[in-house]
Structure 1
Amino acid sequence: MQQYKQERAPIYEALERFKRMRVVPFDVPGHKRGKGNPELTAFLGEACMQVDVNSMKPLDNLCHPVSVIKEAEELAADAFGAAHAFFMVGGTTSAVQSMVLAACKKGDKIILPRNVHRSVINALILCGALPVYVNPATDQRLGIALGMPLGEVEKAIRENPDAKAILVNNPTYYGICSNLKAITDLAHRHGMLVLVDEAHGTHFYFGKNLPPSAMSVGADMSSVSMHKSGGSLTQSSFLLAGPSVNEGYLRQIINLTQTTSGSYLLLSSLDLSRKNLALHGAEIFQKVVDLAQYARDEINAIGDYYAYSKELINGDSIYDFDVTKLSVNTLGIGLAGIEVYDILRDEYDIQTEFGDLGNVLAYVSVGDRERDLERLVSAFAEIRRRYKRDKTGMLQHEYITPQVVIPPQKAFYSEKRSVPIGQSEGKICTEFVMCYPPGIPILAPGERVTREILAYIAYAKEKGCSLTGTEDPDIHYLNVLEGE
């Protein structure tokens, strides 16, 4: 068995060698190591611009790696306990879509929770696969969607034995984990692939006493946002695959949509971040766990807020909880999460990850210091003192079970017309409506517009959520199926 040296960083090392070669560039990019764009070079730094280069023999090629990128991918696979790892420079969106496109063809069924990221439904639009939704349980107090109950997954498999794959969010944005091992074993007994959107779970591979990772329970493919908790540059991710996946075919699928001009800034950041986590991940994420727990305890001591954790675990729809997630329910102070999010940014210069109708997520990482968390806790206390109000009339549900009428691809490409959103009730939507972040659709193509959904959209607008996905940027109009 090959022994991998995790202290190596082959792409980074190749770039360092390349810098010493003093190559005269008559290739792209046209800024020519920064000399052609002095203002950009002054902004980003000469060191950055010198390694913003194109594929060439000494640096390998992302579309068909044979040397340093191949070696870096083998090191990543070893570090994550996968059979194969692919460097992704189109974000985890690209990785998620590659998983779905590799598992499903037009007309194939895929079992998945409806509270997926929009990238999953986008993949269904691209390939024409048919979603079989397992509606997640919801927590009435927190107003959030939970994991996939095992019994519901079993029911979906029984009713759709021809489904090709099951996709699982693990963890959710809020830190909720499904029983991934049981779901994987169940799917494999029925000949189905298991795909895991692990965008928020990089640390599961390296931290101690955290929920199990997708590769450790035998899932077939997983998409990992290395840039979220792993320390790499924004837009860089890994697509991991198990031994049963055809590496060559998956590479072909990735190359359908991934750029042929992979950024070496992103690639080297993945390489160095993998090295860092492989060597120091356990201590890094122990620090993150401790920081998050400190903040959670302090916020809960304020009163009215609820920073939730493992006490939610119920053995099924909340099988486990990611304790690095500092998810805070704000309904007790009479403010929507998005309102607290806005106040933190506008009045305290604190940028949290997102706020929805009932919760705020503060993303804690190794880059944080205890004094940063103290500042956040103090701001929460002051917001409660200054802004607390009666919570009567606040909308609590973050998830509405959709009425799926036709497949996403058919709806998206059908003849459509634009109607005032107030006149869209009962019609079939042909576009997305979602709050971003987190990017989970309120409405997706092919779903019925209901009175409850329209009330939710109006409430989200009123509270200041950033609504996206529609052709009309102001969301006064909605595209619906022609003839509806």
Structure 2
Amino acid sequence: MDIKRQERAPIYEALEEFKKKRVVPFDVPGHKRGRGNPELVHLLGEKCVGLDVNSMKPLDNLCHPVSVIREAEELAADAFGAANAFLMVGGTTSAVQAMILSTCKAGDKIILPRNVHKSALNALVLCGAIPVYVNPQTNAKLGISLGMEIDQVARAIEENPDAKAVLVNNPTYYGICSDLKSIVALAHSKGIKVLTDEAHGTHLYFGKGLPISGMAAGADMSAVSMHKSGGSLTQSSILLTGRDVNADYVRQIINLTQTTSASYLLLSSLDISRRNLALRGEESFAKVAQMSEYARQEINSIGGYYAYGRDLVNGTSIYDYDVTKLSIYTLDIGLAGIEVYDLLRDEYDIQIEFGDICNILAYISIGDRIQDIERLVGALEDIKRLYSKDKTGLLSGEYINPKVAVSPQEAFYSQKKSVRIMDAVGAVSGEFVMCYPPGIPILAPGELITKEIAQYIVYAKEKGCSMQGTEDPAVEYLKVLEQ
């Protein structure tokens, strides 16, 4: 990485020059630097709406960058150790989908864990690729999916030698990492591409003592959520590619679905955040890891909670652990994770990332302070004292292995009927059902609905999980394939 060159932020610099020129706007957006929408100016400020501008020659164009955006992407590639980088304004959802659409066509096979984000399965609906699931082990107590074991991947490749790609979560939402380097070496030896979903792994490129990043492991493509741990604005992400990927073709795939009106607020935030991480990332993420480890120790000293970390590492299904993730098991105080999540927000004005059936996740990043950590620890101690109860009857388990009956695309576009959830047992799902966050489907189109899955959906809904994916807003009915 060329540190001197990383001091540049070309999109930011071009916007600064643009501001000085007092250009009269006869283009879009129609608010005309906020003059047409004073309430928006009041909410966001003159500086913000004044930089909400359209593509023009001095500011380049994201669909076909030739100047400042092109330079910003080259700087991002250099910072992340990639051959090429693409600035994404549709979130990491669009980056994940671009990876899959660039690699797979209708009928192609892709090997992936079932605990992928819905964006990956949506891509299969779009392109018609066939999933070959490496169903990961689960931790019976914590109720979470573990990593992809190398022998499982080897078996999947042996049984499906025509697969086009392997997709790996690096890390999972909960911080668990697979043996990525070995998976890459194995897949490449068979001529198969490796794609990494690093929605929760921006910091792996800059921090020391953290799990290996996708590009460092030799992956072909990686989707990175800069807005999560990297500090950019929500919805801004980066897609990275390796040396053996046709970057011009990837750009064409991105342009199939990405907006032609890219937000310069998002683009400049990516530019500035990349510079910040390149220059100060190692120091910043050292503090994040230190704060997370401190929080882990303090929470475990309360009793009743289990803030897990590197102690889980076993070298196979949990090859490594991302210590910046503060994942906390809550069932031993008699409360589901989603119940603790709700209490923290409603009673203590603390908004954490998510709560599921067994766990909560507090996202620690470059913007946190030690006093915030102490406030969270104090609130958890309070919740245990005031709200803990007998845990009898609580379900454990975030993940149930599904059986794929038909491809996601075929199921999504099939004739369907609507039935009550418990009456859907034995049928094939025609839609997604998930708790969001984290957005990992409980059911995906084409999967068989078992009694266990149906009961889990009802339980998660009763506990207060935010349910998504169904056509029915109340999530009382499911769309299933007509027999």
The answer to whether the aligner puts 1:255 opposite 2:275 as a matched pair is no
Q: Corresponding residue for 2:327?
A: 327
Q: Is the 1:92–1:236 Cα contact (8 Å) retained in structure 2?
A: yes
Distance 1:3 1:45, change over 3 A: closer
Deviates most, 76-85 or 454-463: 454-463
Q: CA deviation at 1:4?
A: 6.3
Distance 1:372 1:2, change over 3 A: closer
Q: Corresponding residue for 1:196?
A: 196
Q: Is the 2:422–2:451 Cα contact (8 Å) retained in structure 1?
A: no
Residues 114-165 of structure 1: CA deviation (Å, up to 9, x unaligned): 0000000000000000000000110011110011011110100000000000
**Aligned AA for 2:434?**
M
Q: Corresponding residue for 1:350?
A: 350
Distance 1:3 1:142, change over 3 A: closer
Matches of 2:305 and 2:477, distance apart in 1: 36
SS in 2 for 1:167: strand
Matches of 1:408 and 1:313, distance apart in 2: 33
Matches of 1:167 and 1:262, distance apart in 2: 28
Q: Corresponding residue for 2:290?
A: 290
Q: Corresponding residue for 1:382?
A: 382
SS in 1 for 2:70: helix
Matches of 1:412 and 1:304, distance apart in 2: 43
Matches of 1:291 and 1:263, distance apart in 2: 33
Q: Is the 1:96–1:119 Cα contact (8 Å) retained in structure 2?
A: yes
Q: Corresponding residue for 1:265?
A: 265
Q: What stretches of structure 1 move > 4 A for 4+ residues in a row?
A: 1-4
SS in 1 for 2:131: strand
Q: CA deviation at 1:390?
A: 1.3
**Aligned AA for 1:415?**
Q
Q: Is the 2:418–2:478 Cα contact (8 Å) retained in structure 1?
A: yes
The answer to whether the aligner puts 1:405 opposite 2:409 as a matched pair is no
Matches of 1:88 and 1:403, distance apart in 2: 34
Q: Is the 2:291–2:370 Cα contact (8 Å) retained in structure 1?
A: yes
Residues 86-125 of structure 1: CA deviation (Å, up to 9, x unaligned): 0000000000000000000000000000000000000000
Q: Is the 1:110–1:132 Cα contact (8 Å) retained in structure 2?
A: yes
Q: Is the 2:354–2:362 Cα contact (8 Å) retained in structure 1?
A: yes
Matches of 2:439 and 2:3, distance apart in 1: 40
Q: Corresponding residue for 1:220?
A: 220
Distance 1:2 1:280, change over 3 A: closer
**Aligned AA for 2:329?**
N
Q: CA deviation at 1:409?
A: 0.1
Matches of 1:3 and 1:448, distance apart in 2: 52
Q: Corresponding residue for 1:442?
A: 442
Q: CA deviation at 1:323?
A: 0.3
Deviates most, 386-395 or 244-253: 386-395
Q: Corresponding residue for 1:112?
A: 112
SS in 2 for 1:215: coil
**Aligned AA for 1:68?**
V
Matches of 1:476 and 1:281, distance apart in 2: 46
Q: Corresponding residue for 2:26?
A: 26
Matches of 1:106 and 1:201, distance apart in 2: 29
Q: Is the 1:4–1:78 Cα contact (8 Å) retained in structure 2?
A: no
Q: Corresponding residue for 1:54?
A: 54
- The residue correspondences of 1:92-103 to structure 2 (distance < 5 A) are 92-103=92-103
Q: CA deviation at 1:272?
A: 0.1
SS in 1 for 2:5: coil
- The residue correspondences of 1:390-429 to structure 2 (distance < 5 A) are 390-429=390-429
SS in 2 for 1:85: strand
The answer to whether the aligner puts 1:91 opposite 2:91 as a matched pair is yes
SS in 2 for 1:63: coil
Matches of 2:94 and 2:42, distance apart in 1: 31
Q: CA deviation at 1:419?
A: 1.1
Q: Is the 1:308–1:328 Cα contact (8 Å) retained in structure 2?
A: yes
Matches of 1:477 and 1:115, distance apart in 2: 23
Q: Which runs of 5+ in 2 are unaligned?
A: none
SS in 2 for 1:460: helix
- The residue correspondences of 1:79-158 to structure 2 (distance < 5 A) are 79-158=79-158
Matches of 1:190 and 1:392, distance apart in 2: 49
- The residue correspondences of 1:307-322 to structure 2 (distance < 5 A) are 307-322=307-322
Q: Is the 1:110–1:165 Cα contact (8 Å) retained in structure 2?
A: yes
RMSD after superposition:
0.9
Q: Corresponding residue for 1:45?
A: 45
Q: Corresponding residue for 2:78?
A: 78
Q: Is the 1:338–1:357 Cα contact (8 Å) retained in structure 2?
A: yes
Q: Is the 1:4–1:75 Cα contact (8 Å) retained in structure 2?
A: no
SS in 2 for 1:110: strand
Q: CA deviation at 1:366?
A: 1.5
TM-score normalised by L of structure 2: 0.99
Q: Is the 2:3–2:279 Cα contact (8 Å) retained in structure 1?
A: no
Q: Is the 2:2–2:78 Cα contact (8 Å) retained in structure 1?
A: no
Distance 1:375 1:133, change over 3 A: same
Matches of 1:25 and 1:388, distance apart in 2: 59
SS in 1 for 2:6: coil
Q: Which runs of 5+ in 1 are unaligned?
A: none
Q: CA deviation at 1:422?
A: 2.0
**Aligned AA for 1:22?**
R
Matches of 1:208 and 1:318, distance apart in 2: 19
SS in 2 for 1:25: coil
Deviates most, 236-245 or 390-399: 390-399
**Aligned AA for 1:259?**
T
**Aligned AA for 1:281?**
G
The answer to whether the aligner puts 1:178 opposite 2:199 as a matched pair is no
Matches of 2:454 and 2:126, distance apart in 1: 27
**Aligned AA for 2:375?**
R
Q: CA deviation at 1:45?
A: 0.4
Q: CA deviation at 1:271?
A: 0.1
**Aligned AA for 1:251?**
R
Matches of 2:3 and 2:34, distance apart in 1: 39
Matches of 1:284 and 1:2, distance apart in 2: 19
Q: Is the 2:406–2:447 Cα contact (8 Å) retained in structure 1?
A: yes
**Aligned AA for 1:164?**
K
SS in 2 for 1:5: helix
Matches of 2:392 and 2:419, distance apart in 1: 33
Distance 1:4 1:65, change over 3 A: farther
- Aligned identity (percent) is 71
